[in-house]
Copies of this chain bind each other. A is one copy, B any other.
Amino acid sequence: MLRIRPAIANDAALLLAMIRELAEFERVPEKVKIGVEDLVRDGFGPNPRFHALIAEWNDQSAGYAVFYDYYSTYAGPAMYLEDVFVREAFRGRGIGTALMATIAKAAVDENRPGIHWHVLDWNEKAIGMYKALGAEFCDWWRPVLLSGDALARLAEKAHE
């Protein structure tokens, strides 16, 4: 039996365990720098930076999703889906779709025109699922990241 519920502060360690599993799946385990305390502070304090859902299958933790506000200067507030993940042993049961449906309902209830996210180009199973949902692949947009030394160098050029 599937149950989807909002995560609470006590779920932070579980959330981190599943974030690590996602990073293994994405082949970047070394990129996880976050700790349980960070997740507690950032997700479950007075001004949460993200919302999290936990999926349970027969009372076992089966997956999670993390999402937060996105803002389009063309269309106003929308949603950004940072992660949707189903643990290996629980795949093929529609849990990913159920997590996304819960977020879609929240988006519709809050009048948000859309949910934005990213998918890895080699993750064909996810791409097929998103296509089946009627999602649009915006391949004319290239994601860019400025970090590390390049970020510090640019910051030094700021006036005042």
Chain A interface (Cβ within 8 Å of chain B)?
A: 2, 4, 19, 22-23, 28, 31-34, 38-39, 42, 49-50, 66, 68-77, 80, 82-83, 97-98, 100-102, 104-105, 107-109, 113-122, 127, 130, 133-159
Q: Which residues of B contact A142 (CB under 8 A)?
A: 118-121, 127, 137-139
Q: Which residues of B contact A151 (CB under 8 A)?
A: 104, 107-108, 113-115
- Once A120-B140, A122-B140 are accepted as A-B contacts, the answer to whether A158 and B105 lie under 8 Å apart by CB is yes
Selected contact of A49 from candidates B71, B74, B107, B113, CB within 8 Å? B71
Give A94's nearest chain B residue, CB to CB. Answer: B157
In angstroms, how far is the closest chain B Cβ from the Cβ of A45? Answer: 12
Measured in the bound complex, the distance between the Cα atoms of B68 and A92 in whole Å is 36
In angstroms, how far is the closest chain B Cβ from the Cβ of A32? Answer: 5
In order of increasing CB-CB distance, the 6 nearest A-B pairs are: A134-B150, A114-B147, A105-B158, A104-B154, A104-B155, A101-B157
- Once A136-B146, A141-B121, A150-B134 are accepted as A-B contacts, the answer to whether A76 and B155 lie under 8 Å apart by CB is no
Excluding A28-B74, A38-B76, 17 further A-B contacts by CB distance (< 8 Å) are A49-B71, A50-B71, A71-B82, A73-B82, A97-B157, A100-B146, A100-B154, A104-B154, A107-B155, A115-B147, A119-B144, A120-B140, A121-B139, A134-B153, A136-B145, A137-B142, A139-B143
